[in-house]
Structure 1
Amino acid sequence: MRVFNSSPRCVPPHACHDFPKLPPNLEFKMNQRCILCFLLGVLFVTGARAQQADRAPAAGQNLLENWLKMDRDGDGKLSNDETTGLMKRFFDRNDANKDGFLDRQELEALQKRLASNRGRSTQNANRNRQQGMSTEQLLKNAPEDVIIEAGIAYRPGDSKAWQLDLVRPKAAASEPRPGIVFVHGGGWRSGDKRAATFLRGAIEYAQKGYVCITVNYRLTGEAPFPACIEDVKCAVRWFRAHAKQYNVDPNRLGGYGNSAGAHLVSMLGLCPPAAKLEGDGPYQDQSSLLQAVCASATPSDFGLFPRSPRGDSRFKGEADQREALIRACSPITHVHQQAPPFLLIHGTADGTVNVKHGDVFAEALKKAGADVTYMRIDGAGHGVYNQHSDRTKPAMETFFSRTLGKQKQTP
């Protein structure tokens, strides 16, 4: 395992450079995006509320019918003994008249509260998503040497999260090109595929000859874990299924992410189909595994985080099921002998994801025999990748050139 400290000698000086600046008119337009996003948000929320109003009665009726199936004695109401899971846990709270039963009126009131909460969660998720530039701005200001295909749906369905942007070189190539998957961060509850770091990264690497996708996924306000993992896996399967169309070598796919995005690309490098986290999306005949992973400020083991109701709420299921899911969603759980090469970057002063996550992850990969390079940067915080871009960016370029620059075996 190669371990680099904060010394600038960890990367050759001649390799140091930064992502190219976006054109001035694009920088200006990005500064104006808040106004545009506000107007779009008003239109979207209005439409979403109308759609929810149309769907609510049918969905509520189905939920009510499912609850009443617990009525074993057929008296039309639920006793505490007849309930299970969260219904049992919050029985007293929902028993408005305190008669020891949940009658139809109380169940209908509960259904309305849940529907209202779901509506707010979806609106919050969509509001958290409004961080990137518009498709019109993106296409208008694209560099001349790349082609951008924006807003591609990587699976059918009604979630606006199931989209990616693809950036590829305009110049023709006689051989298939390697690909890179960029996954945004944001604590799994916010962020967007067009966040500046990831959009600039996709453009720069396309200019270097890679075919890149930058991916959105369902945030926890829309769907709890493991939805985000299932979504990015589906996006990679889509990438492979369309490899011929975009002249991509499906055996040379890498990924980069920071924070929550680092967690997700690590799962893309390690988590096999046997873990049953592929989801119900299409292209199940394609592999969702990457051949090289660069991850900065990586949450590698959810067991290292202090437990809290907010943290646990990211994961679906009852308490006993949640523990197993937390382990299954931790990248360190899936470290194995055939793990792909990893470049891990972590700051010792990271107050969001403690450096211990990087330490134990790098050590686990090393023990498994993986090709792992660990840049442990003294004094760096959670934004380690951008804070020390004079070293991290050329290190990532060298890493992908080394690991994706030749034909790899089928995953």
Structure 2
Amino acid sequence: MKSLHSRLVFLLLILGFALNVQAQNRQRTPTPEARVANWLKTMDKDGDKKISTKEATGLMQKNFRRIDANKDGFLVQMELEKLARRLSRTSQGQQNQRGNNRRTMSTEQLLRMVPQDVILEPDIAYREGESEAWKLDLVMPKSKSKEARAAIVFVHGGGWRSGDKRKGYFMRGAIEYAQRGYVCITVNYRLIAEAPMPASIEDVKCAVRWLRANAKKYNVNPKRIGAYGNSAGAHLVCMLGLAKPEAKLEGDGPYQEQSSLVQAVCASATPTNFLLFDNRRKARRTQPGELFAGPADTLEERGRKASPSTYVAADAPPFLLVHGTADTTVNIKHGDTFHGALKKAGAKHLEYIRVEGAGHGVFHQSSKKTYPAMEAFFKKHLLKAGR
């Protein structure tokens, strides 16, 4: 606990320094060398090329002991350079966040983490156009297979306003499942700063159509495609499982001759019905740059159209739902009512992991249970049987 607290405090230090530098110089992010030179210029009063506890000011003085790695009472060149590099990385991440709300690893970093037994094809455009969001990463087994492989679509969360295809489990999971024999894609989509709902739905549907259109190229069985998502991503994969062409959510992307439906859905902490959110949140969502930007008088209609609960039917694909009873972001009633509606409609293959006391991060908080459940679920419904 003490170690965790120390890391959190140090993170706040880093963020504090980065925000301070950003406020002082918005035109250009200084290099690590420039940062060190500036610190020495403003704080090194005796000119000995190091900063003492008496010379340090502001956040550096407040957190001196943490920065002083060898505890000698001075911040020397090496310690200052280490801090400066951390600040530069943080500032760059903040610039990326302001630009497109995507904190991501570079392709070079990604290639370094890819194991030898899989093949990665990064940043494939699943449709042409101006949006940089219309890209996916594909990961597949290096070994050959005479039979077409099942596929899994990974869709990141982030409240429809942030997130990235390479973040956390969405890339890590894609790699792990590729090692198990699946062809996996992890998908970016337009965030609400670029386009409001239903753009994100249209984009992930286009990505699935792209996968089917390229099934032969990547040795994919188009009848055995599953999807996993968490939070906003869970909402989107539920739409991949339920919203048929008559929902008119296919968008204007290519491959319209292909189906965008998937054959198995694993969804955790899922917003299943936008009409369940309270009135204050509903009203806010109609503002420019928000999820349902547009006329307030059509909000209910548009919210219903974008809700997985609207499309519940007896022919729903197999579902594995995970929700925590203490989720304060997406209330447990979303999971309970959705599961109940699917069951009532006659959906044949339903699993519901309802975790007492778990919050919005339920899937990873309960990973000893949820990870094996997801693996068994996809194995049962994608590897052993088609829809």
Alignment deviations for residues 193-229 of structure 1 (CA, whole Å, 9 cap, x no partner)? 0011111100000000000000000001111000000
Alignment of 1:186-265 (within 5 A): 186-265=158-237
Once the 2 structures are TM-superposed, how far is the Cα of residue 320 of structure 1 from its aligned partner? 2.8
Residue 298 of structure 1 aligns to a residue whose secondary structure is coil
- Match for residue 117 of structure 1? none
Relative to structure 1, the CA distance from residue 364 to residue 168 in structure 2 (aligned partners, 3 Å threshold; closer, same or farther) is same
Residues 215 and 400 (structure 1), Cα distance of their counterparts in 2 relative to 1, 3 Å cut: same
* Equivalent in the alignment of 1:336: 313
User: Does 1:389 find its partner at 2:367?
Assistant: yes
The aligned counterpart of 1:310 is 284
Residue of structure 1 in register with 2:140 after alignment: 168
Q: Give, as a single letter, the amino acid of the residue that structure 2 aligns with 1:395.
A: A
Q: What is the identity percentage for the equivalent residue pairs of Structure 1 and Structure 2? A: 64
Alignment equivalent of 1:128, drawn from 101, 104, 129? 101
Greater Cα offset, 268-277 or 139-148: 139-148
User: Which residues of structure 2 form unaligned runs of 5+?
Assistant: 1-84
Could you say what the CA RMSD is over the residues aligned between the two structures, in angstroms?
A: 1.8
Match of 1:47 in 2: none
Q: 1:37 to 1:162 in 2, by over 3 A?
A: farther
* Matched AA of 1:281: G
Structure 1 counterpart of 2:67: none
- Separation in 1 of the partners of 2:185 and 2:261? 15
Work out the CA distance in 2 between the residues paired with 1:272 and 1:299.
19
Q: How many Å apart are 1:34 and its aligned residue?
A: 8.3
Instruction: Give 2:344's match in structure 1, choosing from 351, 367, 373.
Output: 367
1:377 is the counterpart of 2:355: yes
| 1:33/1:133 contact within 8 Å kept | no
**Corresponding residue pairs, total:** 297
1:149 maps to which of 104, 115, 121 = 121
TM-superposed deviation, 1:38 = 4.5
| Cα distance, 1:291–1:250 mapped onto 2, change above 3 Å | same
Conserved? CA contact 2:286–2:294, under 8 Å:
no
TM-score (norm 1): 0.70
Cα deviation digits, residues 21-54 of structure 1 (max 9, x gap): xxxxxxxxxxx99855854876x8xxxxxxxxxx
Q: Which amino acid aligns with 1:296?
A: S
3-state SS in 1 of match to 2:101: helix
The one-letter code sitting in structure 2 at the alignment partner of 1:310 is R
Judge conservation of contact 2:156–2:233 (CA < 8 Å) in 1. yes
Structure 1 runs of 4+ off > 4 angstroms? 32-42
2:326 alignment partner, SS class: coil
Distance in 2 separating the partners of 1:331 and 1:238: 22
Structure 1 Cα separation of the partners of residues 143 and 112 of structure 2: 19
TM (norm. structure 2) is: 0.74
**Deviations 1:357-410, CA, capped at 9 Å, x for gaps:** 00000001111111111100100000000000000000000000011013524x
1:281 pairs with 234, 242, 253, which one? Answer: 253
| SS of the residue 1:290 aligns to | coil
